Chain A
Amino acid sequence: MPIDPSLRSATISVLVENEPGILARVVGLFAGRGYNIDSLTVAPVEDGRNRSRINIVTSGTDMIIQQIKAQLDRLVPVHRVADLSTEGPHIAREMALIKVIGSGEQRIEALRLAEAFRARVVDATTGSFIFEMTGATEKLDAFLDLMRPLGLAEVSRTGVAAIARGVRII
């Protein structure tokens, strides 16, 4: 894919009323208007007010990302929309469970790299490891690239959870 310099990635957090169909509304908006979803996470936030937080990593020109924010904001059950990538520093993390199948030298190399990347071994058999790893998306990507020749068999990733640094809240 040619890299368009006017495209940027955005991490958007949306605070929504936790009601049936809300995820379909958000995802339908992206599908219907042709916006990208690179990653999506959703879970209730336990503030006693029946709300959920949706984190979406998307990409587009600045005009499109503004448009995505405005479109999300006018959904009736949406409380607040924040583009964390432009509203000051933020932290974004995801978790992955990574199954590597192999033996001999490859197996030892996989374990050595996992230690270097601070991935935890959460399951092991004589022929396999499952690593648990948390970090920025790029760190996970880098680790997976290294595992590929070492018997990477299956990955389960959570998608990005993100939050603003410091005292700022959305």
Chain B
Amino acid sequence: MSQTQTAPATAAQPEMQAELQSGSEVLLRALKEQGVEVIFGYPGGAVLPIYDAIFQQNAIRHILVRHEQAAVHAAEGYARSTGRVGCVLVTSGPGATNAVTGLVDALMDSIPLVCLTGQVATHLIGNDAFQEADTTGITRPATKHNYLVKRSEDLARVVHEAFYVARSGRPGPVVIDLPKDILINKAPYASAPVAPHRSYRPQTAPDMGQIGKAVAALKSAKRPIIYTGGGVINSGQGASDALIKFVRKTGFPITSTLMGLGAYPSNDTQFLGMLGMHGTYEANLAMHGCDVMLNIGARFDDRVTGRLNAFSPGSRKIHIDIDRSSINKNVAVEIPVVGDAGLSIEALLEAWDNEPRQVDTAALSTWWSQIEAWRGIDCLKYTQIQTKGGIIKPQYAVQRLYDITRESGRETFISTEVGQHQMWAAQYFRFDQPKRWMTSGGLGTMGYGLPAAMGVQVAHPAALCIDIAGEASILMNIQEMSTLAQYRLPVKVFILNNQYMGMVRQWQELLHGSRYSESYTEALPDFVKLAESFHGVGLRATSVDQLDDVIREMIASDRPVIADICVDQKENCFPMIPSGAAHNDMILGAEHAARAPGVTDAGMALV
């Protein structure tokens, strides 16, 4: 065994000396080599050797969260706002099980993470030892991949491989389960390999033949649309830059999924707004009526497609995705392209110029006038009473938050919880750049926003990091206010407080005869006092005349703030495509002439 080996006492052999390091030291060294600067974690018996090693070094900073789920969401926020791999450290048993929600969240939204979990010593595994859980078993469907390190000589290799897997191809969370004896025993160090991985080598460069077909189809279009998703964000700034060039060059309309917001500037005239269940009228009708659709880095999620057999029935579809299994999963496409979003858009740009065929500009301008007519409906219209004492509309609160943060000129990152407020944030806050928007899209995890904002703030200490929250969701990870205080992270929590689980209430109103079963919160805390008790600032606005002042005070503060914005309790989020309905069966808000709601019995069975 490696412990019994002794290194030759020559100064010229640092590698051999490294063999004398403990597993924990080897682990930290590998993390450092992988560029890890911050770990979000929580200690416990099984990981004490790692905490001891952390104590004795300065290269890697540790942020002590108050719940392991929050550690994972914080790492997600860190990862998504920087493009780097987020790192998490939790103990065995309950530490690992608490992390599971965050892991599934990262899996669904393709966020690169490495989560280190403690485990009981190898000889105890399988004996129901104290704080033992079958972590690799539990997290197998919750991760992109996971490892149990059983031999010290595998430790460094596994760490490097985990980072490679987390960030390559379609990114995702990776768990490394670390038995305590592996952390204590001496382990050899190995640097990150230069050779390609044995089996996992995702294709990133697109097939140029397929790109050529895509361009030919796009140039022949009379009613084209470009639909982009989180894949463009994950691909990096270059992908967004190339996307802007491509969209401008084509003159085509573009829409985005919830996860893709910011890849293309929201204020640009070619942008139709978000599509899907709470997407804009123009985006959804353009998707429904298009004749050629180009999907880049989105996955035809049910929140986007609505009823599948009525989804964009007349269009030829092109789908670019780095994950082959995302193609032809829900929607059959004519032209599949497997590849990285950025590389593929660049290939499209090149092929566009080489394709002699010209775009049918007459047809395109007819298409645009149709789109303008849909736009003219102004589907996001709402009425805010401006008289003193007027009740605040949640849409207006987000609108003012956007205006005032923009005026401030500060670099602003927005996270959200899950519910109506999340959709209003997506609709009314406008993003001009990628990586500024963190939301739990695939899993829809209430409690995501506060820890995610915390992770963003750690990565961007000078930026304005705001969690647009609901009063129900925020209570799911409210303990992180304590972390904010400890590390002086001036995160702002902007609660659209409607006293309801508003999104639940909205569905009950539309689908369950307004029987508001368990969706009203009877005994909410006083959020102002709550903020103060966590060493933060508490603010409240109860009427429209107070709103701007509260927002200004909030963003001027250099401390964590909870702004309790008491909004209209009855407001619903529109437009809405009910589950099981088609894109052209949208319900518009009260501002608009009543339209037949598209609710069906079969749709009621869908979530």
A36 at the interface (CB under 8 A from B): no
CB contacts (< 8 Å) of A16 on chain B: these are 199
Please, which residue of chain A has its CB at the minimum distance from the CB of B197?
A76
CB contacts (< 8 Å) of B141 on chain A: these are 28, 32
When the two chains form the complex, which single residue of A66, A74, A78 contacts B323, counting CB atoms closer than 8 Å?
A74
B324 at the interface (CB under 8 A from A): yes
When the two chains form the complex, which single residue of A17, A71, A74 contacts B169, counting CB atoms closer than 8 Å?
A74
Within B132-172, the residues touching A (CB, 8 Å) are 136-137, 140-141, 144-145, 148, 150, 165, 169-170
CB contacts (< 8 Å) of A79 on chain B: these are 198-199
* Cβ-defined contact, A17 with B198, below 8 A: yes
CB contacts (< 8 Å) of B169 on chain A: these are 74
Query: Bound complex: CA of A66 vs CA of B170, how far in Å?
Result: 19
* Cβ-defined contact, A76 with B137, below 8 A: no
CB contacts (< 8 Å) of A103 on chain B: these are none
CB contacts (< 8 Å) of B198 on chain A: these are 17, 79
CB contacts (< 8 Å) of B325 on chain A: these are 67, 70-71, 73-74
Identify the stretch in A18-26, A115-123, A126-134, A158-166 within 8 Å (CB) of chain B at 4 or more residues: A18-26
A77 at the interface (CB under 8 A from B): yes
Tell me which of B137, B150, B329 has the highest count of chain A C-beta atoms within 10 A of its own C-beta. Answer: B329
Within B296-347, the residues touching A (CB, 8 Å) are 323-325, 327-329, 332
Query: Bound complex: CA of A67 vs CA of B332, how far in Å?
Result: 11
Please, which residue of chain B has its CB at the minimum distance from the CB of A50?
B198
Q: Encode A75-114 as 1/0 by CB contact (under 8 A) with B.
A: 1111100000000000000000000000000000000000
* Cβ-defined contact, A67 with B199, below 8 A: no
Within the complex, the shortest CB–CB distance from A144 to chain B, in Å, comes to 35
Query: Bound complex: CA of A21 vs CA of B324, how far in Å?
Result: 23
Query: Bound complex: CA of A66 vs CA of B323, how far in Å?
Result: 13
* Cβ-defined contact, B328 with A21, below 8 A: no
Query: Bound complex: CA of A17 vs CA of B200, how far in Å?
Result: 11
* Cβ-defined contact, B199 with A17, below 8 A: yes
* Cβ-defined contact, A74 with B148, below 8 A: no
Of the four ranges (under 10, 10 to 19, 20 to 34, 35 or more), the interface on chain B belongs to: 20 to 34
Please, which residue of chain A has its CB at the minimum distance from the CB of B136?
A21
Within B161-196, the residues touching A (CB, 8 Å) are 165, 169-170
Within B46-102, the residues touching A (CB, 8 Å) are none
Within A7-61, the residues touching B (CB, 8 Å) are 16-17, 20-21, 24-25, 28, 32
CB contacts (< 8 Å) of B200 on chain A: these are 76-77
CB contacts (< 8 Å) of A28 on chain B: these are 140-141
* Cβ-defined contact, A76 with B165, below 8 A: yes
* Cβ-defined contact, B329 with A76, below 8 A: no
Query: Bound complex: CA of A73 vs CA of B201, how far in Å?
Result: 10
Query: Bound complex: CA of A77 vs CA of B146, how far in Å?
Result: 11
* Cβ-defined contact, B144 with A25, below 8 A: no
CB contacts (< 8 Å) of A77 on chain B: these are 199-200
Query: Bound complex: CA of A82 vs CA of B200, how far in Å?
Result: 16
Please, which residue of chain B has its CB at the minimum distance from the CB of A70?
B325
* Cβ-defined contact, B165 with A74, below 8 A: no
Tell me which of B136, B148, B324 has the highest count of chain A C-beta atoms within 10 A of its own C-beta. Answer: B324
* Cβ-defined contact, A67 with B329, below 8 A: yes
CB contacts (< 8 Å) of A67 on chain B: these are 325, 328-329
Query: Bound complex: CA of A28 vs CA of B136, how far in Å?
Result: 12
Within the complex, the shortest CB–CB distance from A64 to chain B, in Å, comes to 10
Please, which residue of chain B has its CB at the minimum distance from the CB of A74?
B325
Contacts A25-B140, A66-B328, A74-B169 given; does A20 touch B148 at CB 8 Å: yes
A167 at the interface (CB under 8 A from B): no
CB contacts (< 8 Å) of B150 on chain A: these are 20
Please, which residue of chain B has its CB at the minimum distance from the CB of A25?
B140
Please, which residue of chain A has its CB at the minimum distance from the CB of B326?
A70
A63 at the interface (CB under 8 A from B): yes
CB contacts (< 8 Å) of B327 on chain A: these are 70
Please, which residue of chain B has its CB at the minimum distance from the CB of A16?
B199
Within the complex, the shortest CB–CB distance from A78 to chain B, in Å, comes to 6
* Cβ-defined contact, A70 with B324, below 8 A: yes
* Cβ-defined contact, A24 with B140, below 8 A: yes
CB contacts (< 8 Å) of B137 on chain A: these are 24
Within the complex, the shortest CB–CB distance from B305 to chain A, in Å, comes to 15
Contacts A24-B140, A67-B325, A70-B325 given; does A76 touch B332 at CB 8 Å: no
Query: Bound complex: CA of A10 vs CA of B200, how far in Å?
Result: 24
* Cβ-defined contact, A74 with B140, below 8 A: no
Query: Bound complex: CA of A16 vs CA of B200, how far in Å?
Result: 11
Please, which residue of chain A has its CB at the minimum distance from the CB of B202?
A74
Query: Bound complex: CA of A66 vs CA of B338, how far in Å?
Result: 14
Query: Bound complex: CA of A25 vs CA of B199, how far in Å?
Result: 15
Tell me which of A66, A74, A77, A78 has the highest count of chain B C-beta atoms within 10 A of its own C-beta. Answer: A74
* Cβ-defined contact, A76 with B324, below 8 A: no
Please, which residue of chain B has its CB at the minimum distance from the CB of A20?
B148
Chain A to chain B: the 6 pairs with minimum beta-carbon distance, closest first:
A70-B325, A76-B145, A70-B324, A76-B200, A79-B199, A71-B325
8 A–B contacts from the bound complex (CB under 8 Å): A17-B199, A21-B136, A21-B140, A24-B140, A25-B140, A28-B140, A70-B324, A76-B200
Extra contacts besides A71-B325, A74-B202 (12): CB < 8 Å:
A17-B198, A20-B150, A21-B148, A70-B325, A70-B327, A73-B324, A74-B169, A74-B170, A74-B325, A75-B145, A77-B199, A77-B200
